[in-house]
Structure 1
């Protein structure tokens, strides 16, 4: 029930666990002193030799003992807090750091909802493990032996009877642990699965409503919730049964010790004070181990939660180098790059392209042609590729994840905007930016005037900018990206599903960025790529055409045909709107 990896996480907390044991032990010694003095007074009363000085001494020792116990209890609680104060911070930092190391590809190995639950409930389970369970585990071994030494001086037989019954409780704990391991494993599987299912249904609520599939989704959630209720009841039943068994052993052991003491008293082997000492301290033999049994269930939950956390922390990370990207101007070259998500389907095949610094390079093609996969590779998300990718002459795989994050900025059609204010969202791009710089970024995406009609930079933003239009949200995300100020920008369908005014504002900003930065534009709408320095046309994961817009139109191939079709469709739609 003790994991060394957990202990090593909090090296500084070891002393507080020792303090907890010390304060509990001192409190026990104070309790023994109180019992000894009270039984001495009762014995004197039995012998009819009680004196006022004896009564005063008893009152003094009892009062002192109670004060010591009070102080020890307060210090014990303080040590419990200090032992666990860092557990949540340390574990959550490690989980967060692991997500950063895994990079954008973390979702290929673990569900987002599981990380959320892990950092929440999973870490909370371990707080009690460090704050209470570990010290109680060690104290439950120390206390019975301390009491055995005291009781054995009164009645060795009674001390042996009491001590012999104590190990029965950890035996029960071990049996319960053996049974509980599988139940708790299933419990956390169902718990994380329910969280993932709920999050998915919540995020897809609009889609469920459109297709009238919400009732079926509710029924599925109800079914999974019922399954979780049943496994929870199994866990609670297991805990209740084990608690009942431990109570029977504790009270039965104490009763056996009391009977032994009474027998010794009946045989005149011990006096009144001795038998009362045995009776009053019999329960103290079992209370520490009994309390350990209570913490045991929390400890089991914590250790199962830690299994999940450590399994996540042990996930293989990208084997990247430690090289840094040199310079503020970045050239990128891809040479015979191929990529497959699995062996059955090759997504990219022998992709070769050159992306010069301070240029606008567009990657176009129908859905599923591999455009976004190239963006994922450049960002370090899709790292199991073949071929060569060089950034300023350095092989892409030799670059550190940190360097990629510092030099590449991705703006997609679903960029997340966080709940808070406009200022708080923009400062994510550049925490040191002034209000003037924030307003300048908003002006560049044609959003400044709108926000000034609201509350300016203090305009409230709901989760994922649900109180903004799609175009306004996208322009806010672009302003944040501009403040990040990296040498490379990748726009992956950044103008998808937004209004014409927002699309025009975003494309104007993109062209301005391309004068100073390396810009890769991924778009299905060819009207947005006509000013590109180079255009790569993809089909089925292969480059079938490349050149400028003028050159590709002259070829009269796939690009020209698709451009003409889109132009005719847009002219037709515009004519219907005017009519």
Structure 2
């Protein structure tokens, strides 16, 4: 019922399917009645050429009606399927948007992909075939009962009594199959997640020679999936065999009843033939429903997964919009923990003025990236107060945050396609001149001109570019996004010194016009910052400009000196 309420647009197509099937049944009854009347007249040797021509005309008309009804039924099935797929995928997409950047804390990306693919396909068939067949399977036997009861009440009762045995079998199978199908989808989604993880980590697996172990694990999980699939098929095949026995047995019982009445001269030749020809029609709709049963069960299990996702708690965000291009940010006694066992941030207070360059530094695990996650709306269960232009962060919509904040991390993804396509993700309306200007700012223009310009091919995750080139391409894309606030989270880690120098020059240029939050482990990059916040164990232990912090002779000065000595030593070794 929840599915039907959710997919109101599909209900009209389900009703249409039932109507076309029902009209097709009436056409079939008419054809059988006319043929049996002709046979009865032949039996009585009173047949005329007019009777034959009338029968041919009515049968032809009936077949045409059935053909048209079947075509319209198929079209209604198609429209219901299309409507269901569109509506469900829109619902899932909207839910991802509502969950915001933190959706991966509650569900795996691979599961969402499988849900929108296989899960929705299961419900497509459920709505396109199963539901209409369910209602028609109830309507058709009642219609045939009324027709046959006018010929032989006893035969119609015998047939009607046998029909409910099929749904009883279906209910028993449902009881057995429910748990099996639950395990089936658990293993299916688990296999998809495991496969995606190992595919993404293939390089690491190769480096540590763990690829063979990964293959064995995938083989083991695949074998487990094969076994559960075979269990599902065994249940389906067994239930189909039982339903066939009931359907054919019920038809045989009805035919025997009609023959007995014919031998007792209770009904004529036309009547007994009507009972024989329509006996199978009594069971075909319910039998077809039984064959669709596994689709219905898969659909119900798929809907359980989809509804579990749609029911995930969402960020309680407001609908406020950030106005203007000048953004001031203030954090007041902000604390955050991923779970109750450990507090990641404790009483963080800082002011980030519009058009300033503010750096957050500290050792790994001190909470730097967590602050970036909170500002972007990924980590939302914080305590304290965060205000953006005077508006509480929780009251700002996720859409507005995404439109005003841009984050560049050390692992920004490069998508398979062209440089042009990657850049247009930052700004779909960017002109060619604007894209070339952005590439020039990050010193990629000359390199790409020697290739194929904006049409230079980019492999998945920009694997055909060096680490520095990939990061500079990500920075060019971010420049085109053109937001008031930029967050650089270790954007220069794991790249060569030349690329780091280019990126830092671009960061400083951006900070002249935009608010920049720089998170860096290398303190040489933050010297020109308007304010530096030093974190340790989730707390701010020092703050000020570079000169002020150096005069303090505290943690910042100690780490900066150690890094400088190490870099000077490395440089001297290279020169030697």
* TM-score, length basis structure 2: 0.98
Kindly indicate whether the alpha-carbon contact (under 8 Å) linking 2:330 and 2:387 is maintained by their aligned counterparts in 1. Answer: yes
Is 2:440 the partner of 1:443?
yes
Q: Offset at 1:372?
A: 0.3
For the residue of structure 2 that corresponds to 1:342, the secondary structure is: coil
C-alpha distance after superposition, 1:154-180 (max 9, x if no partner): 111001100111111111111111221
Structure 2 residue aligned with 1:233, among 230, 233, 257?
Answer: 230
1:128 counterpart (125, 128, 132): 125
The offset of 1:527, in angstroms, is 1.2
Structure 1 partner of 2:201? 204
Q: Distance in 1 between matches of 2:572 and 2:49?
A: 111
Structure 2 Cα separation of the partners of residues 442 and 90 of structure 1: 40
State the match for 2:390 in structure 1: 393
Moved over 3 A (4+): none
Structure 2: how far apart are the matches of 1:96 and 1:411?
24
Q: Distance in 1 between matches of 2:471 and 2:88?
A: 34
Check if 1:158 corresponds to 2:151.
Answer: no
Match for 2:519 among 522, 525, 535?
522
Within 5 Å, give how 1:138-177 maps onto structure 2: 138-177=135-174
Task: Provide the residue aligned with 2:4 in structure 1.
Answer: 7
- Match for residue 326 of structure 1? 323
Shift of 1:424: 1.5
In the alignment, structure 1 residue 244 sits paired with structure 2 residue 247:
no
Counterpart of 1:384 in structure 2 is 381
Structure 2 counterparts to residues 265-284 of structure 1, below 5 A: 265-284=262-281
Shift of 1:9: 2.4
Question: Counterparts in 2 of 1:56-205, with a 5 A limit?
Answer: 56-205=53-202
- 1:524 Cα shift? 0.4
Q: Would you say 1:286 and 2:316 are equivalent positions?
A: no
Q: Which residue in the other structure is 1:315 paired with?
A: 312
- The CA deviation string for residues 172-223 of structure 1, in whole angstroms up to 9 with x for no partner, is 1111112211111111111111111111111111111222222221221111
CA distance in structure 1 between the partners assigned to 2:254 and 2:160 by the alignment: 9
1: CA distance, partners of 2:118 / 2:575: 57
Please list, as runs of the form range in 1=range in 2, the aligned pairs for 1:485-524 lying within 5 A after superposition.
485-524=482-521
How far has the Cα of 1:374 moved from its partner? 0.7
Separation (CA, whole Å) in 1 of partners of 2:275 and 2:414: 68
3-state SS in 1 of match to 2:292: helix
Give CA deviations for 1:522-554 in whole Å, capped at 9, x if unaligned.
Answer: 000111111111111111111111111122122
CA distance in 1, matches of 2:272, 2:291: 30
Counting matched residue pairs gives 576
Counterpart of 1:366?
Answer: 363
**What is the match of residue 535 of structure 1?**
532
State the Cα distance separating 1:42 from its structure 2 match: 1.5
Cα deviation for residue 575 of structure 1 reads 2.7
Deviations 1:332-378 (A, max 9, x none): 11112111112221111111111111011011111111110110111
Aligned residue for 2:401?
404
Deviation, 1:296, is 1.6
- Distance in structure 2 (CA, Å) of the matches to 1:44 and 1:323: 82
Distance 1:176 1:122 in 2: 22
Query: Following the alignment from structure 1 to structure 2, what is the Cα–Cα distance between the partners of residues 99 and 504?
Result: 37
How much has 1:455 moved relative to structure 2? 1.7
| 1:342 corresponds to which of 339, 352, 359 | 339
CA contact 2:10–2:84 (8 Å) conserved in 1: no
- Looking at structure 2, the residues matched to 286 and 144 of structure 1 have their Cα atoms a distance apart, in angstroms, of 8
Supply the distance in 2 between the matched residues of 1:455 and 1:464 (Cα, whole angstroms): 19
3-state SS of 1:361 partner? strand
Match of 1:48 among 45, 60, 66: 45
- Give the Cα–Cα distance (whole angstroms) in 2 for the partners of residues 508 and 278 of structure 1: 89
Rounded Cα–Cα distance in structure 2 between residues aligned with 1:137 and 1:446:
65
Distance in 2 between the 1:574 and 1:245 partners? 81
C-alpha separation in 2, matches of 1:578 and 1:50: 114
Gaps of 5+ in 2: none
Superposed CA deviations along residues 41-63 of structure 1, whole A, max 9, x for unmatched, are: 21222222222111111211111
- How far residue 558 of structure 1 moved from its aligned partner, in angstroms, is 1.3
Structure 1 counterpart SS, 2:344: strand
Tell me the secondary structure at the aligned position of residue 323 of structure 1: coil
Counterpart selection for 2:564 from 551, 562, 567: 567
Which ranges of structure 1 fall in alignment gaps of 5 or more residues?
Answer: none
Structure-2 residue corresponding to 1:256 = 253
* 1:553 match: secondary structure: helix
Give, in whole Å, the separation in 2 of the partners of 1:56 and 1:320. 74
Secondary structure at the aligned position of 2:74 is classed as helix
2-side partners of 1:96 and 1:458: how far apart?
A: 30
Matched, 1:37 2:34: yes
Helix, strand or coil for the counterpart of 1:291?
helix
Q: How much does 1:329 deviate?
A: 0.6
- 1:476 is matched with which residue? 473
Cα contact 2:9–2:83 (8 A) shared by 1: no
1:510 CA displacement: 0.7
